[in-house]
Structure 1
Amino acid sequence: MTILDSLRGGLVASCQPVDDGPMDRPDIVAAMAAAAVAGGADGLRIEGVENLAATRPVVGVPIIAILKRDLDDSPVRITPYLADVEALAQAGADIIAYDATDRARPETTAAILAAIHGAGKLAMADCSTLADGQRALKEGAAILGTTLSGYTEETAHRPDGVDTDLIAAFRDLGAFVMAEGRINTPELAAQAMAAGADAVTVGTALTRLEHVTGWFKAAVEAR
Protein backbone atom coordinates (compact mmCIF):
# COMPACT_ATOMS: atom_id res chain seq x y z
CA MET A 1 0.00 0.00 0.00
CA THR A 2 1.32 3.43 -0.89
CA ILE A 3 1.41 6.36 1.52
CA LEU A 4 -1.45 8.08 -0.33
CA ASP A 5 -3.51 4.88 -0.27
CA SER A 6 -3.03 4.65 3.49
CA LEU A 7 -4.31 8.21 3.92
CA ARG A 8 -7.23 8.03 1.48
CA GLY A 9 -10.55 8.17 3.30
CA GLY A 10 -8.78 8.91 6.56
CA LEU A 11 -8.13 11.46 9.27
CA VAL A 12 -4.86 13.30 9.81
CA ALA A 13 -4.30 14.75 13.28
CA SER A 14 -2.26 17.95 13.30
CA CYS A 15 -0.37 17.86 16.59
CA GLN A 16 0.72 21.47 16.89
CA PRO A 17 0.43 22.90 20.40
CA VAL A 18 0.03 26.59 21.11
CA ASP A 19 3.41 28.25 20.63
CA ASP A 20 5.27 28.63 23.94
CA GLY A 21 2.32 27.11 25.81
CA PRO A 22 2.63 24.46 28.53
CA MET A 23 2.21 21.64 26.00
CA ASP A 24 4.83 22.98 23.58
CA ARG A 25 7.43 20.28 24.25
CA PRO A 26 8.64 17.50 21.94
CA ASP A 27 7.79 14.74 24.44
CA ILE A 28 4.25 16.06 24.81
CA VAL A 29 3.81 16.43 21.04
CA ALA A 30 4.92 12.82 20.65
CA ALA A 31 2.42 11.74 23.31
CA MET A 32 -0.35 13.71 21.57
CA ALA A 33 0.54 11.99 18.31
CA ALA A 34 0.50 8.52 19.87
CA ALA A 35 -2.86 9.27 21.49
CA ALA A 36 -4.27 10.50 18.17
CA VAL A 37 -3.16 7.31 16.45
CA ALA A 38 -4.69 5.25 19.27
CA GLY A 39 -7.93 7.11 18.61
CA GLY A 40 -7.87 6.20 14.92
CA ALA A 41 -5.81 8.87 13.14
CA ASP A 42 -4.45 7.54 9.85
CA GLY A 43 -1.70 10.15 9.63
CA LEU A 44 -0.13 13.05 11.49
CA ARG A 45 0.97 16.58 10.72
CA ILE A 46 3.92 17.65 12.86
CA GLU A 47 5.66 21.02 13.00
CA GLY A 48 9.33 21.39 13.80
CA VAL A 49 12.38 19.18 13.57
CA GLU A 50 12.60 18.40 17.30
CA ASN A 51 8.91 17.51 17.49
CA LEU A 52 9.23 15.32 14.41
CA ALA A 53 12.30 13.54 15.76
CA ALA A 54 10.47 12.81 19.02
CA THR A 55 7.32 11.60 17.26
CA ARG A 56 8.74 9.41 14.51
CA PRO A 57 9.90 6.55 16.77
CA VAL A 58 6.54 6.19 18.56
CA VAL A 59 4.13 6.00 15.61
CA GLY A 60 3.88 3.96 12.44
CA VAL A 61 1.50 6.12 10.41
CA PRO A 62 2.61 8.59 7.72
CA ILE A 63 3.82 11.96 8.97
CA ILE A 64 3.33 15.20 7.09
CA ALA A 65 6.04 17.51 8.37
CA ILE A 66 6.39 21.28 8.23
CA LEU A 67 8.68 23.90 9.66
CA LYS A 68 7.19 27.29 10.46
CA ARG A 69 9.16 30.51 10.44
CA ASP A 70 8.23 34.17 10.94
CA LEU A 71 10.16 36.06 8.27
CA ASP A 72 10.71 39.80 8.15
CA ASP A 73 10.52 40.05 4.37
CA SER A 74 7.90 37.46 3.44
CA PRO A 75 4.43 36.39 4.60
CA VAL A 76 5.31 32.77 3.84
CA ARG A 77 5.64 30.76 7.05
CA ILE A 78 5.44 27.08 6.08
CA THR A 79 8.74 25.42 5.09
CA PRO A 80 10.19 28.45 3.30
CA TYR A 81 13.81 27.27 2.96
CA LEU A 82 15.56 24.42 1.17
CA ALA A 83 17.44 23.74 4.41
CA ASP A 84 14.09 23.22 6.14
CA VAL A 85 13.23 20.49 3.66
CA GLU A 86 16.54 18.74 4.27
CA ALA A 87 16.14 18.90 8.05
CA LEU A 88 12.60 17.52 7.97
CA ALA A 89 13.56 14.74 5.58
CA GLN A 90 16.42 13.66 7.84
CA ALA A 91 14.17 13.74 10.92
CA GLY A 92 11.75 11.19 9.46
CA ALA A 93 9.08 12.94 7.41
CA ASP A 94 7.14 10.89 4.86
CA ILE A 95 5.52 13.96 3.31
CA ILE A 96 6.79 17.53 3.48
CA ALA A 97 4.27 20.35 3.21
CA TYR A 98 5.14 23.82 1.96
CA ASP A 99 3.40 27.14 1.29
CA ALA A 100 2.29 26.94 -2.35
CA THR A 101 0.89 30.47 -2.64
CA ASP A 102 2.12 32.97 -5.21
CA ARG A 103 3.70 35.36 -2.73
CA ALA A 104 7.15 36.83 -2.21
CA ARG A 105 9.41 34.18 -0.69
CA PRO A 106 13.07 33.39 -0.08
CA GLU A 107 13.02 30.24 -2.24
CA THR A 108 10.80 29.48 -5.24
CA THR A 109 8.11 26.84 -4.96
CA ALA A 110 9.79 24.95 -7.80
CA ALA A 111 13.04 24.83 -5.84
CA ILE A 112 11.26 23.66 -2.69
CA LEU A 113 9.54 20.89 -4.63
CA ALA A 114 12.78 19.82 -6.25
CA ALA A 115 14.38 19.56 -2.80
CA ILE A 116 11.46 17.50 -1.47
CA HIS A 117 11.64 15.12 -4.42
CA GLY A 118 15.42 15.00 -4.18
CA ALA A 119 15.07 13.81 -0.59
CA GLY A 120 12.76 11.02 -1.76
CA LYS A 121 9.67 12.46 -0.06
CA LEU A 122 6.18 13.33 -1.24
CA ALA A 123 5.20 16.99 -1.42
CA MET A 124 2.00 18.52 -0.06
CA ALA A 125 1.08 21.95 -1.37
CA ASP A 126 -0.60 24.16 1.22
CA CYS A 127 -2.83 26.27 -1.01
CA SER A 128 -5.20 29.19 -0.72
CA THR A 129 -6.72 29.29 -4.22
CA LEU A 130 -7.39 27.15 -7.27
CA ALA A 131 -4.50 28.86 -9.06
CA ASP A 132 -2.15 27.75 -6.27
CA GLY A 133 -3.25 24.17 -6.75
CA GLN A 134 -2.94 24.26 -10.52
CA ARG A 135 0.60 25.58 -10.29
CA ALA A 136 1.54 23.05 -7.59
CA LEU A 137 0.30 20.12 -9.65
CA LYS A 138 2.33 21.26 -12.64
CA GLU A 139 5.41 21.48 -10.43
CA GLY A 140 4.89 17.97 -9.07
CA ALA A 141 3.01 18.16 -5.75
CA ALA A 142 1.38 14.87 -4.73
CA ILE A 143 -1.25 16.41 -2.42
CA LEU A 144 -3.22 19.64 -2.67
CA GLY A 145 -4.33 21.03 0.69
CA THR A 146 -6.84 23.80 1.36
CA THR A 147 -4.69 24.78 4.34
CA LEU A 148 -4.26 28.47 3.58
CA SER A 149 -7.75 29.32 2.34
CA GLY A 150 -8.84 32.24 4.50
CA TYR A 151 -5.31 32.93 5.74
CA THR A 152 -3.93 35.04 2.88
CA GLU A 153 -4.74 38.59 1.87
CA GLU A 154 -6.45 37.29 -1.26
CA THR A 155 -8.76 34.94 0.66
CA ALA A 156 -9.24 36.80 3.95
CA HIS A 157 -12.80 37.70 2.96
CA ARG A 158 -14.09 34.13 2.91
CA PRO A 159 -16.32 32.98 5.78
CA ASP A 160 -15.34 30.59 8.55
CA GLY A 161 -15.76 26.91 7.93
CA VAL A 162 -14.40 24.38 5.48
CA ASP A 163 -13.82 25.66 1.93
CA THR A 164 -15.96 23.14 0.09
CA ASP A 165 -15.70 25.07 -3.18
CA LEU A 166 -11.92 24.77 -3.19
CA ILE A 167 -12.10 21.10 -2.26
CA ALA A 168 -14.41 20.44 -5.20
CA ALA A 169 -12.19 22.47 -7.55
CA PHE A 170 -9.12 20.49 -6.51
CA ARG A 171 -11.05 17.26 -6.96
CA ASP A 172 -11.87 18.33 -10.53
CA LEU A 173 -8.14 18.69 -11.19
CA GLY A 174 -7.72 14.99 -10.41
CA ALA A 175 -5.57 15.69 -7.38
CA PHE A 176 -5.31 13.93 -4.04
CA VAL A 177 -7.18 16.49 -1.94
CA MET A 178 -6.45 17.19 1.72
CA ALA A 179 -9.14 19.27 3.41
CA GLU A 180 -7.45 21.36 6.06
CA GLY A 181 -8.17 24.59 7.87
CA ARG A 182 -11.10 25.65 10.07
CA ILE A 183 -12.38 22.08 10.45
CA ASN A 184 -13.22 21.96 14.14
CA THR A 185 -16.24 19.67 14.41
CA PRO A 186 -16.99 16.12 13.21
CA GLU A 187 -19.80 17.59 11.10
CA LEU A 188 -17.39 19.85 9.21
CA ALA A 189 -15.03 16.92 8.66
CA ALA A 190 -17.89 14.93 7.15
CA GLN A 191 -18.84 17.95 5.03
CA ALA A 192 -15.30 18.12 3.68
CA MET A 193 -15.39 14.46 2.67
CA ALA A 194 -18.78 14.92 1.02
CA ALA A 195 -17.32 17.81 -1.00
CA GLY A 196 -14.70 15.49 -2.48
CA ALA A 197 -11.74 15.44 -0.11
CA ASP A 198 -9.59 12.33 -0.05
CA ALA A 199 -8.63 12.96 3.58
CA VAL A 200 -9.19 15.53 6.31
CA THR A 201 -6.71 17.20 8.64
CA VAL A 202 -7.92 18.45 12.02
CA GLY A 203 -5.67 20.34 14.38
CA THR A 204 -6.91 22.89 16.89
CA ALA A 205 -9.99 20.92 17.95
CA LEU A 206 -7.80 17.92 18.78
CA THR A 207 -4.55 19.27 20.13
CA ARG A 208 -4.83 22.89 21.25
CA LEU A 209 -6.35 22.50 24.67
CA GLU A 210 -6.18 26.22 25.43
CA HIS A 211 -8.37 27.07 22.44
CA VAL A 212 -10.91 24.31 22.98
CA THR A 213 -11.21 25.21 26.67
CA GLY A 214 -11.83 28.79 25.59
CA TRP A 215 -14.74 27.72 23.38
CA PHE A 216 -16.47 26.02 26.27
CA LYS A 217 -15.63 28.82 28.68
CA ALA A 218 -17.17 31.40 26.35
CA ALA A 219 -20.33 29.30 25.95
CA VAL A 220 -20.70 28.93 29.72
CA GLU A 221 -20.18 32.63 30.38
CA ALA A 222 -22.62 33.57 27.63
CA ARG A 223 -25.40 31.78 29.53
Structure 2
Amino acid sequence: MLEILKSSLIISCQAPSDSPLHHPDIIAVIAQACVNQGAKGLRIDSPSHIKAVKKLLPDIPVIGLWKQMGLNSSVYITPRFEDAVAVSEAGADIIAIDATLRSRPNGETMANLMTKIQQELGKPIMADIDTLESSIEANQAGADFIGTTLYGYTEATQNLIPPSFEFIEKLLKTVDKPVICEGGVKTPEEVRKALDLGCYSVVVGTAITGIDLLAKKFVEAIE
Protein backbone atom coordinates (compact mmCIF):
# COMPACT_ATOMS: atom_id res chain seq x y z
CA MET A 1 0.00 0.00 0.00
CA LEU A 2 2.80 2.41 0.85
CA GLU A 3 4.22 2.18 -2.69
CA ILE A 4 1.08 4.02 -3.78
CA LEU A 5 2.46 7.14 -2.10
CA LYS A 6 5.61 7.31 -4.21
CA SER A 7 5.74 10.43 -6.42
CA SER A 8 2.22 11.34 -5.37
CA LEU A 9 0.09 13.93 -3.61
CA ILE A 10 -1.00 13.35 -0.02
CA ILE A 11 -3.68 15.71 1.27
CA SER A 12 -3.96 16.65 4.91
CA CYS A 13 -7.64 16.79 5.84
CA GLN A 14 -7.89 18.58 9.16
CA ALA A 15 -9.93 21.38 10.71
CA PRO A 16 -9.54 23.56 13.81
CA SER A 17 -11.22 22.14 16.90
CA ASP A 18 -13.67 25.06 16.99
CA SER A 19 -14.68 24.66 13.34
CA PRO A 20 -18.00 23.10 12.26
CA LEU A 21 -15.87 20.99 9.92
CA HIS A 22 -14.20 19.33 12.90
CA HIS A 23 -16.38 16.21 12.80
CA PRO A 24 -15.29 12.70 11.79
CA ASP A 25 -17.92 12.28 9.08
CA ILE A 26 -17.21 15.70 7.56
CA ILE A 27 -13.45 15.09 7.52
CA ALA A 28 -14.16 11.74 5.86
CA VAL A 29 -16.17 13.25 3.01
CA ILE A 30 -13.56 15.97 2.51
CA ALA A 31 -11.03 13.15 2.22
CA GLN A 32 -13.30 11.37 -0.26
CA ALA A 33 -13.47 14.52 -2.40
CA CYS A 34 -9.67 14.72 -2.42
CA VAL A 35 -9.28 11.07 -3.37
CA ASN A 36 -11.88 11.47 -6.12
CA GLN A 37 -9.61 14.07 -7.71
CA GLY A 38 -6.52 11.89 -7.59
CA ALA A 39 -4.92 12.23 -4.15
CA LYS A 40 -3.13 8.96 -3.36
CA GLY A 41 -2.82 9.37 0.40
CA LEU A 42 -4.25 11.29 3.35
CA ARG A 43 -2.89 12.78 6.55
CA ILE A 44 -5.50 12.69 9.32
CA ASP A 45 -5.49 13.90 12.93
CA SER A 46 -7.12 12.03 15.84
CA PRO A 47 -8.38 8.45 16.22
CA SER A 48 -12.05 9.28 15.61
CA HIS A 49 -11.27 11.06 12.34
CA ILE A 50 -8.89 8.32 11.21
CA LYS A 51 -11.50 5.67 11.92
CA ALA A 52 -14.16 7.54 9.91
CA VAL A 53 -11.80 8.05 6.98
CA LYS A 54 -10.68 4.40 6.90
CA LYS A 55 -14.28 3.24 7.06
CA LEU A 56 -15.10 5.27 3.96
CA LEU A 57 -11.74 4.79 2.19
CA PRO A 58 -10.26 1.48 3.39
CA ASP A 59 -7.76 1.16 0.54
CA ILE A 60 -6.25 4.65 0.78
CA PRO A 61 -3.02 4.97 2.81
CA VAL A 62 -3.50 7.18 5.86
CA ILE A 63 -0.74 8.93 7.76
CA GLY A 64 -2.27 9.20 11.21
CA LEU A 65 -1.38 11.44 14.11
CA TRP A 66 -2.94 12.77 17.27
CA LYS A 67 -2.33 16.37 18.27
CA GLN A 68 -2.15 16.55 22.05
CA MET A 69 -1.92 19.98 23.60
CA GLY A 70 -1.50 20.95 27.23
CA LEU A 71 1.06 18.31 28.18
CA ASN A 72 3.63 20.79 29.51
CA SER A 73 5.67 20.37 26.34
CA SER A 74 5.88 22.07 22.97
CA VAL A 75 5.83 18.60 21.40
CA TYR A 76 2.24 17.86 20.37
CA ILE A 77 2.20 15.57 17.30
CA THR A 78 1.63 12.05 18.69
CA PRO A 79 3.91 12.82 21.64
CA ARG A 80 3.40 9.61 23.68
CA PHE A 81 3.25 5.90 23.00
CA GLU A 82 -0.37 5.71 24.18
CA ASP A 83 -1.25 8.30 21.53
CA ALA A 84 0.44 6.16 18.89
CA VAL A 85 -1.48 3.11 20.09
CA ALA A 86 -4.79 4.92 19.65
CA VAL A 87 -3.78 6.12 16.18
CA SER A 88 -2.74 2.61 15.20
CA GLU A 89 -5.92 1.00 16.51
CA ALA A 90 -7.98 3.56 14.57
CA GLY A 91 -6.48 2.18 11.37
CA ALA A 92 -3.59 4.47 10.42
CA ASP A 93 -1.15 2.88 7.98
CA ILE A 94 1.73 5.20 8.94
CA ILE A 95 2.12 6.95 12.29
CA ALA A 96 3.45 10.51 12.28
CA ILE A 97 5.33 11.71 15.35
CA ASP A 98 7.16 14.87 16.37
CA ALA A 99 10.79 14.01 15.74
CA THR A 100 12.35 17.30 16.82
CA LEU A 101 15.02 17.40 19.51
CA ARG A 102 12.72 19.09 22.03
CA SER A 103 11.90 17.53 25.40
CA ARG A 104 8.90 15.22 25.27
CA PRO A 105 6.06 15.46 27.81
CA ASN A 106 6.94 12.23 29.65
CA GLY A 107 10.70 12.41 29.22
CA GLU A 108 10.81 9.53 26.75
CA THR A 109 13.34 9.82 23.95
CA MET A 110 12.33 9.99 20.32
CA ALA A 111 14.37 6.86 19.58
CA ASN A 112 12.60 4.84 22.28
CA LEU A 113 9.20 5.95 21.05
CA MET A 114 10.05 4.94 17.48
CA THR A 115 11.31 1.53 18.58
CA LYS A 116 8.16 0.82 20.58
CA ILE A 117 5.88 1.87 17.71
CA GLN A 118 7.72 -0.27 15.19
CA GLN A 119 8.16 -3.32 17.40
CA GLU A 120 4.89 -3.33 19.34
CA LEU A 121 2.52 -1.80 16.79
CA GLY A 122 4.25 -2.89 13.60
CA LYS A 123 3.58 0.41 11.86
CA PRO A 124 6.00 2.53 9.82
CA ILE A 125 6.83 6.00 11.12
CA MET A 126 6.83 9.41 9.51
CA ALA A 127 9.25 11.53 11.51
CA ASP A 128 8.18 15.19 11.49
CA ILE A 129 11.45 17.13 11.73
CA ASP A 130 12.41 20.81 11.81
CA THR A 131 16.18 20.90 11.31
CA LEU A 132 18.95 18.86 9.71
CA GLU A 133 20.08 17.90 13.21
CA SER A 134 16.70 16.40 14.06
CA SER A 135 16.58 14.65 10.69
CA ILE A 136 19.91 12.94 11.42
CA GLU A 137 18.63 11.75 14.80
CA ALA A 138 15.38 10.48 13.27
CA ASN A 139 17.23 8.76 10.45
CA GLN A 140 19.56 7.00 12.88
CA ALA A 141 16.61 6.06 15.12
CA GLY A 142 15.05 4.15 12.24
CA ALA A 143 12.30 6.40 10.92
CA ASP A 144 10.69 5.02 7.77
CA PHE A 145 9.94 8.46 6.31
CA ILE A 146 11.38 11.90 7.09
CA GLY A 147 8.89 14.76 6.79
CA THR A 148 9.68 18.48 6.69
CA THR A 149 6.44 19.12 8.59
CA LEU A 150 7.85 21.21 11.43
CA TYR A 151 10.37 23.31 9.51
CA GLY A 152 9.35 26.88 10.30
CA TYR A 153 7.02 25.88 13.14
CA THR A 154 9.36 25.32 16.11
CA GLU A 155 11.35 27.57 18.39
CA ALA A 156 14.53 26.75 16.45
CA THR A 157 13.00 27.54 13.04
CA GLN A 158 10.32 30.12 13.79
CA ASN A 159 11.95 32.74 11.56
CA LEU A 160 12.10 30.40 8.54
CA ILE A 161 9.38 30.13 5.93
CA PRO A 162 8.37 26.76 4.48
CA PRO A 163 8.69 25.24 2.03
CA SER A 164 12.43 25.84 1.70
CA PHE A 165 13.71 24.01 -1.36
CA GLU A 166 17.27 24.82 -0.29
CA PHE A 167 16.60 23.00 2.98
CA ILE A 168 14.97 20.11 1.13
CA GLU A 169 18.00 19.72 -1.13
CA LYS A 170 20.29 19.58 1.91
CA LEU A 171 17.94 17.15 3.65
CA LEU A 172 17.91 14.78 0.67
CA LYS A 173 21.71 14.66 0.84
CA THR A 174 21.71 14.16 4.62
CA VAL A 175 19.32 11.22 5.15
CA ASP A 176 18.91 7.91 3.38
CA LYS A 177 15.18 7.50 4.08
CA PRO A 178 12.36 8.71 1.83
CA VAL A 179 11.70 12.42 2.33
CA ILE A 180 8.14 13.72 2.37
CA CYS A 181 7.77 17.44 1.72
CA GLU A 182 5.17 18.97 4.02
CA GLY A 183 4.56 22.44 5.35
CA GLY A 184 3.62 25.64 3.60
CA VAL A 185 3.15 24.12 0.15
CA LYS A 186 0.76 26.49 -1.61
CA THR A 187 0.82 25.79 -5.34
CA PRO A 188 0.87 22.87 -7.80
CA GLU A 189 4.19 24.21 -9.06
CA GLU A 190 5.74 23.80 -5.60
CA VAL A 191 4.48 20.21 -5.47
CA ARG A 192 6.09 19.50 -8.84
CA LYS A 193 9.36 21.12 -7.77
CA ALA A 194 9.57 19.07 -4.56
CA LEU A 195 9.05 15.85 -6.49
CA ASP A 196 11.58 16.87 -9.14
CA LEU A 197 14.15 17.48 -6.41
CA GLY A 198 13.70 13.89 -5.23
CA CYS A 199 11.04 13.95 -2.53
CA TYR A 200 9.14 10.69 -2.14
CA SER A 201 5.81 12.50 -1.98
CA VAL A 202 4.28 15.83 -0.99
CA VAL A 203 1.67 16.68 1.65
CA VAL A 204 -0.59 19.67 1.08
CA GLY A 205 -3.01 20.81 3.75
CA THR A 206 -4.26 24.37 4.21
CA ALA A 207 -3.94 25.33 0.54
CA ILE A 208 -6.53 22.67 -0.33
CA THR A 209 -8.58 21.82 2.78
CA GLY A 210 -8.02 24.76 5.15
CA ILE A 211 -11.39 26.41 4.58
CA ASP A 212 -11.42 28.21 7.93
CA LEU A 213 -7.93 29.70 7.58
CA LEU A 214 -8.35 30.57 3.91
CA ALA A 215 -11.65 32.35 4.50
CA LYS A 216 -10.10 34.25 7.43
CA LYS A 217 -7.22 35.50 5.27
CA PHE A 218 -9.58 36.84 2.62
CA VAL A 219 -11.73 38.60 5.21
CA GLU A 220 -8.66 40.10 6.92
CA ALA A 221 -7.46 41.44 3.57
CA ILE A 222 -10.79 43.22 3.06
CA GLU A 223 -10.90 44.62 6.57
Fold similarity call, TM over 0.5: yes
Secondary structure of the residue that 1:11 maps to in structure 2?
A: strand
- What pairs with 1:1-223 in structure 2 (closer than 5 Å)? 2-3=1-2, 5-59=3-57, 60-105=59-104, 106=106, 107-117=108-118, 118-158=120-160, 160-172=161-173, 173-218=175-220, 221=222
Give the Cα–Cα distance (whole angstroms) in 1 for the partners of residues 143 and 167 of structure 2: 17
Q: CA RMSD in A?
A: 1.5
Give the Cα–Cα distance (whole angstroms) in 2 for the partners of residues 96 and 138 of structure 1: 17
Give the Cα–Cα distance (whole angstroms) in 2 for the partners of residues 68 and 149 of structure 1: 17
Give the Cα–Cα distance (whole angstroms) in 1 for the partners of residues 101 and 132 of structure 2: 11
Secondary structure of the residue that 1:156 maps to in structure 2?
A: coil
Letter of the structure 2 residue corresponding to residue 84 of structure 1:
D
Q: Relative to structure 2, which stretch is displaced further, 133-142 or 164-173? A: 164-173
Deviation at 1:72, TM superposition (A): 4.2
Are 1:86 and 1:115, in contact at CA under 8 Å, matched by a contact in 2?
A: no
Identity %: 38
Deviation at 1:103, TM superposition (A): 0.6
Letter of the structure 2 residue corresponding to residue 213 of structure 1:
A
Letter of the structure 2 residue corresponding to residue 154 of structure 1:
A
Give the Cα–Cα distance (whole angstroms) in 1 for the partners of residues 101 and 215 of structure 2: 35
Deviation at 1:218, TM superposition (A): 4.8
Letter of the structure 2 residue corresponding to residue 103 of structure 1:
R
Are 1:162 and 1:192, in contact at CA under 8 Å, matched by a contact in 2?
A: no
Are 2:143 and 2:177, in contact at CA under 8 Å, matched by a contact in 1?
A: no
Give the Cα–Cα distance (whole angstroms) in 2 for the partners of residues 96 and 9 of structure 1: 19
Secondary structure of the residue that 1:78 maps to in structure 2?
A: coil
Deviation at 1:216, TM superposition (A): 3.8
User: Which string of whole-angstrom CA distances, capped at 9 and with x for unpartnered residues, describes residues 113-162 of structure 1?
Assistant: 1222121110000000111111111111010000000011111121x341
User: Which string of whole-angstrom CA distances, capped at 9 and with x for unpartnered residues, describes residues 161-216 of structure 1?
Assistant: 41212321232122201000011221222232233211100011111112222344
Deviation at 1:12, TM superposition (A): 0.4
Letter of the structure 2 residue corresponding to residue 29 of structure 1:
I
Flag structure 1 segments of 5+ consecutive residues without an equivalent.
none
Flag structure 2 segments of 5+ consecutive residues without an equivalent.
none
Secondary structure of the residue that 2:75 maps to in structure 1?
A: coil
Are 2:100 and 2:128, in contact at CA under 8 Å, matched by a contact in 1?
A: yes
User: Which string of whole-angstrom CA distances, capped at 9 and with x for unpartnered residues, describes residues 47-79 of structure 1?
Assistant: 001001111111121100000011342100100
Are 1:53 and 1:92, in contact at CA under 8 Å, matched by a contact in 2?
A: yes
Secondary structure of the residue that 1:155 maps to in structure 2?
A: coil
